[in-house]
Amino acid sequence: MRLARTGGVWFASLPTMSSPTDPTRKFSSIVHDGPDRAPARSMLRTVGFGDADFHKSVVGIASTWSMVTPCNMHIDQLAREAETGANAAGGKAIIFGTITVSDGISMGTPGMRYSLVSREVIADSIETVAGAEGFDAVVAIGGCDKNMPGCIMALARLNRPGVFVYGGTILPGIHPESKRECDIVSVFEAVGQHAAHKLDDAGLHAVENCSIPGPGSCGGMYTANTMACAIEALGMSLPNSSAQIAISQEKKDDCRRAGEAALALLKANLRPRDIMTKKAFENAITVVIALGGSTNAVLHLLAIAHTANVKLSIDDFTRIGRKVPVLADLKPSGKYGMAHLSRIGGLMPLMKMLLDAGLLHGDCLTVTGRTLADNLRHVGPYPKDQDVVHPLSHPIKPDSHLRILYGNLAPEGAVAKITGKEGLTFSGKAITFESEEAALKAILANRVKAGHVIVIRNEGPRGGPGMREMLSPTSAIMGQGLGKVVALITDGRFSGGSHGFVVGHITPEAFSGGPLALVKNGDTITIDAVRNELNLVLPAKEIAARRKAWKPRPPKENRGALAKYAKLVTSASEGAVTDKYL
């Protein structure tokens, strides 16, 4: 093995061989080479191939471009940059598309049931196109929440050299009167303020108008930014890809370098499963905790690990969380947005802090061809006058905010995001709802009072189907000023923008006969983020009697994507994957 310099980055590479035995054309040669492949070459000439291109490695550029959401509206331009980089490095790039759905737009509607389903569709579609067309390497570019895990799951399945590029974060909006920064969560919380008569129609309209100023993913440490950072820590993105502004020159450069990197990875025969080891997943979990990231990271990292044949469980989050502090003061619980982290140096100084403290595995390989420690060797600290990222000596929370809870309400586990600002324990009376819409209607009608534990059930992967995010009700709670006096538990999940005393991913889910299905109005529920427990305060005999009387609900869907998903999907505690039993 020797080192080669590509695009300003040193990569490990192997000596190349000439076609048809060239290992950098392992898949494209099957599609392109020989007299019998003339029909394929004839079609490819029309989409931009010349004679010389049939002797080059083919790099698929998976673009999640779409005008359905600001998160992805610029990704067509970024895909062109990646194409330029791959071609300049001696490959032949082909741009192709996959889907995205907008969580922020579909939130609180039946359409949100398709959000988690889209993760599987994205993974399936990238795998399908790359496998069918004989791509030797893949660059995948994602913006909205499910793009990231979907792209990485596809790269893990294919196990061909690949790089993920994050489309980048949005800039914050500026309120025209207060001059305060705002984002999509500001709008959701303004809905709650409006319902509580703390904001009039004109005030709601003003927040609505100013909060989304341009392209890029939602601007706090919500799910998109959380997963982008997790993937960089996993080793599957180039350094600082996770912490760049969507419309910046740095992001364009990142895409070009990703195209170049795909060729270098081909020469090195360095593949995704070589990078995505158990220690790499531990690095990703560590970074998510230090950033105060989304509960969705638990779901998605479990799914990616399953796809990469790495044994990872929800209990790994507890094990790692005991020693890793929350350091970043980022929204939704903190003050700052992702753009602020980008301006002070991005993710790499934080990772250097964690590495120096012995909290990261520095020997893990990355898509640069070098180890994580090598990538961070010359990274300096954050500026002294910043307070976005706290020092290890003064953490926001000394251990993880992601709590894996067990108890008679969650015998297979649940996931809570407890920063400590809400307190560490909560006990209250259940008020039950069979859907997100019913709960939101009650919250906005002021039927939810201090001391309530809102129970939203039949919203799990199978029961939803699709495991919707509960950003609308959690934001309404915060907007009405109930964040510290009301809790919410669900077998659905939460947006990275949710905060407050919330517990999701309760397993088994209610639809499958989990204990959540047995809760009645007025029951006492306790949440303990110190002992990591979630319990229904009832005698075992009463719970058994309710279970005996329980009857399963009929499926909500019998045809189409949602019905197929409900039939195949595993529980949230296993990542809600759809191929475990195949």
- What values do phi and psi take at 302, rounded to 5? -60, -45
CA distances, 138 to each of 248, 284, 503 (Å):
23, 22, 37
Picking from 516, 417, 409, 509, the residue whose alpha carbon sits closest to that of residue 460 is 509
Catalytic residue (one of 63, 495, 498, 573): 495
CA 527 to chain centre: 25
SS3 content of the chain, % helix, strand, coil (to 5): 40, 15, 40
Dihedral sign (CA 530, 225, 298, 312):
negative
Q: How many residues does the chain have?
A: 582
Are 165 and 255 in contact, with CB atoms under 8 Å apart?
Answer: yes
Dihedral sign (CA 310, 313, 318, 319):
negative
Q: Is 495 known to be catalytic?
A: yes
Q: Which amino acid is at 562?
A: L
- For 177-234, list the strands marked E by DSSP: 181-182
Q: Bridge-partner residues for 469, per DSSP? A: 493
- 113-129 as b/e: b if 16+ CB within 10 A: bbbbbbbbbbbbbbbeb
C-alpha to C-alpha distance for 96 and 131, rounded to whole angstroms: 13
Picking from 414, 429, 427, the residue whose alpha carbon sits closest to that of residue 514 is 414
Are 259 and 137 in contact, with CB atoms under 8 Å apart?
Answer: no
Which two tokens mark 446?
A: 């002021």
Are 247 and 339 in contact, with CB atoms under 8 Å apart?
Answer: no
CA-based R_g, the chain, Å: 24
Unique residue bearing structure tokens 């075992």: 540
- For 383-532, list the strands marked E by DSSP: 402-407, 410-417, 425-433, 452-456, 487-490, 501-504, 524-528
C-alpha to C-alpha distance for 518 and 142, rounded to whole angstroms: 40
Q: Bridge-partner residues for 142, per DSSP? A: 166
* Parallel, antiparallel or unpaired: strands 2-6 and 137-142: unpaired
C-alpha to C-alpha distance for 311 and 55, rounded to whole angstroms: 39
C-alpha to C-alpha distance for 556 and 559, rounded to whole angstroms: 10
CA 60 to chain centre: 22
Question: Interhelix angle for 223-234 vs 147-158, to 10°?
Answer: 30
Q: Which residues are catalytic?
A: 495
